[in-house]
Structure 1
Amino acid sequence: MNLLISIIVPCYEQACYLDECLQSVLDQTYQNWECIIVNDGSADHTEEVAQQWVEKDKRFIYLSKKNGGLSSARNAGIEKAKGEWILPLDADDKIGNQYLEFAEEKFGDGYKVIYCKAQKFGLIHEEWDLPVYSIKNLAIQNVIFCTAFFRKEDWVKVNGFDTDLIYGWEDWEFWIALLKNGGKVYRIDEICFYYRIKETSMLKEMSDKNNEKITFSHHIIYKKHIEFFIRELGSFQRLAEENEKLHQKVSHLKTILNSKRYQTVNKIFNFLRL
């Protein structure tokens, strides 16, 4: 099919990672792409690095804007994109050199979203073990990372990434908006996406369940898609009751494990195993 793929790389104060990210784009075996680098008001040398890549290959395009957050930067790049298919790629991450090739092979098969297996790198080196996609799993948590393929026309239909989600989870909300009324999803059975783990990773920050930023983001998402969550998960009252039952079971199990009787029996069992 040889369709044009638009890769959108938002960058805010991440110039130190940008070369590695853009090199992974240049290394693609599939050649019909454009890469739009969106400088989201960075104070570092993002512009200098980006311009070097623009001079190196005309398929790289540079766009500068006032700081507006990740959703705003992605939307600005997608708005400028000429490709039928879009692939967001954060400036501190990278992709395998066959990712575009593998995805393009599936473009004509009626999929709404195409993604792959992923690997963490940086502070941690391990495969990113995400639950298999299903619409119910998507209602429970985000199971598709941001660097997945979708059509620009679908992005238009759902009004893009929500710019109110300034603290993260904007990709989860986007997938819900895109898929809640139907659509096939395909996962490439190869590791083609590499997610950088660093001290200030947003994912690490958002994994803190007591973080007020999570509460803020979840409030927006749940309110925006309340009918979807109720349809897939049931009433919030029932979910609260089930969560309380689970909490009670866990508390009971912890009580047993911490009891002197259990610890004594466990010591005897371990001794007999020797």
Structure 2
Amino acid sequence: MTVPVFESKLTRMPLLGFGTWPMRGAECQQAVESALGLGYRHVDTAEMYGNEEAVGAALAAAGLPRGDLYLTTKVWNDKPKGAQIHRAAEESLKRLRQPYVDLLLIHWPSPELDLPDALRALAALREEGLARAVGVANFPLGLLRRAVEAGIAPLACLQVEHHVFLDQSRLVDYCQQQQMVLTSYTPVAKGEVLRDPTIAGIARKHGATPGQVALAWLFGMPGVAAIPKAASPERQRENLAAVDLKLDEEDRQALAALPKDRRMVNPSIAPDWES
């Protein structure tokens, strides 16, 4: 099974990635090793997850050529200044046992974020070869526009919550205009897709699972990737198989008609999503 790849002048990302939150320690290492063994080549982690060491150990154990892997990590939002972001990225690389990451993201914006300074740090990390590409996560459209239009760092990716119950079409459209990949986290809506009768009906029609339908809906959008977490090999295989599921127009219309206002991740540090 071949996972499609998003390719732009800034990055080349497999559209199905392996999310590691909230796994830690041996559980995380074992899950990443399993995923890599099954054919995943895109792994997503973050400083805040507390599992970069486990991901690094799994990558070392897998013994795959570094060029075959796509590795993303993120700097936490308690580092609003460029120097802090740069230092945090270097520390992440030590924990991951890697000379570089393929993508480095600012994990969440904070009210204290010095945007120009942060973007200068991202640009420097890219120029130094510590991050092959850079981007942001959880930025609302207004802040994303400001970051892009500043022209300081070439942003390759936006990572946000995105699933069949949450309309992110404005962000998807903007990312397409900018040739950025939009990476969808929580792509099966924390399991809520398993309880929806419309999704269940489409799954039965295709001999698929509701989770596969939810992922296929995302993969049907140009420039959209997804990073589901799956601890068990069975679920990892299920998610991989979603790459080959093709929904028809009737399916997509039925999914488009579902309510799109259910946000699953909205912590106290979240920005104003409409800003």
TM-score w.r.t. length of structure 1: 0.32
More strand by share: 1
